[in-house]
Amino acid sequence: MGYVRTALLLAGLTAFFLVVGYMLGGEGGMVIALIVALAMNFFAYWNSDKMVLGMYGARPLDPQSAPDLYAMVRDLATRADLPMPKLYLIDNPQPNAFATGRNPENAAVAVTTGLLGILDRDEVAGVIAHELAHVRNRDTLIMTIAATIAGAIGMLANFALFFGNNRNNPLGIVGVILVMVLAPIAAMLVQMAISRTREYEADRVGALICGQPLALASALAKLQRGAARVDNETAERNPATAHMFIVNPLHRGGVDNLFSTHPNTENRIARLRALAREMGAEATAPAAPFTPRRGPWG
């Protein structure tokens, strides 16, 4: 059901983009909007991972620079039946992480220095497993396309006044006003609905990958508290990337409603605790998912 809902939401977002084009320029505007959507999606498919990693100043890690963390990711990728993703470190005090890449063969997982500073090994494994779940579920591509189309709708809304006198505009100035006011809001709502749907599923699959739902639940609680206290200036300047992180990097509250990029953390933790009970896990501290092969994070 989650995949069907995501597909419907993504199709709805694309259709809305075409409607906006039609409202601004009639049939010709809709054709132009379709061409722009295809071009932007093509560009995003091939370059989105490089863009976002560069935006956050991520530096690659390897077995020599971070032996223990690299071994952990490799083991979890094997459990998830995935190729070893590229591993990156972001020098940022806010504890957070994200995955990107168009498919499992070209995936990347990035963690911040803040995350490695506050989580224990089990919790780090839970976070990595969550991000690998996004990779396995192809969420990284879905979310990139959603963000690209939503951004394009916002761009059309910004240019709405320039099309206001277009004779092909079927609704005249009324249509222009509607596009300017409603288009960005509608795009944002659909994008956030897609993001929230995939976060719940990634929590579930990630917990199964690492075998410790309570470790991931504990990590989420720590990350939420840390993200609320520490700014992520790059994310604040680029809010369209907020949905990629495991917890919301922006300081806009955490209510579980249509205007939140992420589900409420308490709700996510409650679901993970319920999953732990189903799996017969201990209700207190989780056991280590595996024995690390080497020393500290590196």
Q: Which residues are catalytic?
A: 131
Distance CA 52, CA 238 (A): 10
Q: What is the 3-state secondary structure (H, E, C) of the chain?
A: CHHHHHHHHHHHHHHHHHHHHHHHHHHHHHHHHHHHHHHHHHHHHHHHHHHHHHHCCCEEECCCCCHHHHHHHHHHHHHCCCCCCEEEEECCCCCCEEEECCCHHHCEEEEEHHHHHHCCHHHHHHHHHHHHHHHHCCHHHHHHHHHHHHHHHHHHHHCHHHHCCCCCCCCHHHHHHHHHHHHHHHHHHHHHHHHHHHHHHHHHHHHHHHCCHHHHHHHHHHHHHHHHHCCCHHHHHCHHHHHHECCCCCCCCCCCCCCCCCCCHHHHHHHHHHHHHHHCCCCCCCCCCCCCCCCCCC
* Phi, psi angles (nearest 5°) of residue 176: -60, -45
Phi, psi of 89 (to 5 degrees): -120, 130
